[in-house]
Structure 1
Amino acid sequence: MTLNIPNILTLLRLILIPFFLVFYYLPWQYAYMTAAGIFVLASFTDALDGYLARRLNQTTPFGAFLDPVVDKVMVASALVVLVQSYEGSIWMTIAAIIMIGREIVISALREWMAELGKRSSVAVSWIGKFKTAAQMMAITGLITHYNEWVINVSMVMLYVATALTLWSMLVYLKAAWKDLVAHG
């Protein structure tokens, strides 16, 4: 394992997940805002570690493995606590299931394509980047529980992120479709 700046940022993001969860559930006036701040910090490190890995030429197999795993655990953790907090919202639950399910499907697809030597055909696309940005903004707003306006805007962003989630999944599946059919 090479400990360079991008990998340290990824490990920091992993360490932030339990702090996010603890602060989210603390019976304290500023718990939600603190949890949202931790989530924003973790989201920022997600963008920064990839940028630095490429910019400083510090990509490693360890980072390539750990970064997407930590991203998925971070987002899934946030979605699970939000589903619990907004327990009356079937739409929140559906969005969370779609987002988590897509991550599982695409992770499996990328692993399978890598076995075929074609991982680059399912590399991250611009739709995936927009999906991630919309998802992070929506989740952050929902974590804050700030006011009804912020919650409503965040719910709309969550639905936009859900639509982008489905769209990006279809793009990845389309890119791999010939191999799926040929080797299926």
Structure 2
Amino acid sequence: MLTLPNILTLSRIFAVPVLVWLLWWPAWRLGYGLAYGMYCLMGITDYFDGYLARAKGTVSKLGVFLDPIADKIMVAAVILVLTGKNVIGGVHIIAALVILLREIAVSGLREFLGGLRVSVPVSKLAKWKTTFQMVALGSLILIPAVPGWSVPFTGGWINPASVGFVTLWVAAGLTLVTGWDYLRVGLKHMD
């Protein structure tokens, strides 16, 4: 039961309090830099736990249960802390809220459908949503770590804030589409 993929998944869950502490610590750039590194490492383990489980044929019920929970805990924690620290503010809170609400709704829907023994596979579009979401949150973590940093990009400048907020809104849009797809499947099984 405690295979390498499951250990990687559990490591993400246990790393969330450390990630939150690094993000919450009062205004120290090094903390945000370390949080960014930890966030990237957590993202890498998210990729490898699924890859290893499929490649080695060790997909387990525990892993299927824990993997989406680990993802949701990490995403929710980062969004909440970055909002609390005003990294995500203003109108961008709407995009963050859309992502959080979808995560909660899809979790509830999966639980409901699980009781009916109905499986809802993850779509390619949902994987793209996750990719944009992870890039967005990573970029937003970088804002306080490297304030004022930007690089030249096709005749202009690009910085963590522009990447973070654009990809956050793309993720929110994909969140609405994929959330509707899941809901449509779920509605077929409701009275």
For the residues of structure 2 that align with 1:93 and 1:83, how far apart are their CA atoms? Answer: 7
Name structure 1 gaps, 5 residues minimum: none
Q: 1:26 is matched with which residue?
A: 25
Q: 2:128 is matched with which residue?
A: 130
Q: Which deviates more from structure 2 when the two are superposed, residues 169-178 or residues 81-90?
A: 81-90
For the residues of structure 2 that align with 1:152 and 1:85, how far apart are their CA atoms? Answer: 18
Confirm whether residue 160 of structure 1 aligns to residue 158 of structure 2.
Answer: no
For the residues of structure 2 that align with 1:116 and 1:58, how far apart are their CA atoms? Answer: 25
The secondary structure found in structure 2 opposite 1:124 is coil
For the residues of structure 1 that align with 2:9 and 2:90, how far apart are their CA atoms? Answer: 32
For the residues of structure 2 that align with 1:88 and 1:175, how far apart are their CA atoms? Answer: 32
Bigger relative contact order, structure 1 or 2 (CA pairs below 8 A, ≥6 apart) = 2
Query: Normalising by structure 2, what TM-score?
Result: 0.87
For the residues of structure 1 that align with 2:87 and 2:133, how far apart are their CA atoms? Answer: 19
CA change 1:33–1:111 in 2 (3 A) is same
State the aligned residue count: 178
Q: CA RMSD in A?
A: 1.6
Confirm whether residue 3 of structure 1 aligns to residue 2 of structure 2.
Answer: yes
The answer on whether the counterparts of 1:131 and 1:164 sit within 8 Å (CA) in structure 2 is yes
Q: Which has the higher helix share?
A: 1
The answer on whether the counterparts of 1:6 and 1:52 sit within 8 Å (CA) in structure 2 is yes
Equivalent residue letter for 2:75:
V
The answer on whether the counterparts of 1:95 and 1:162 sit within 8 Å (CA) in structure 2 is yes
For the residues of structure 2 that align with 1:29 and 1:105, how far apart are their CA atoms? Answer: 35
The secondary structure found in structure 1 opposite 2:57 is coil
Q: CA deviation at 1:171?
A: 1.2
Name structure 2 gaps, 5 residues minimum: 149-158
Q: CA deviation at 1:88?
A: 7.3
Query: Normalising by structure 1, what TM-score?
Result: 0.90
Confirm whether residue 116 of structure 1 aligns to residue 116 of structure 2.
Answer: yes
Identity across matched positions, percent? 38
Superposition map of 1:101-112 within 5 A: 101-112=101-112
Q: 2:184 is matched with which residue?
A: 174
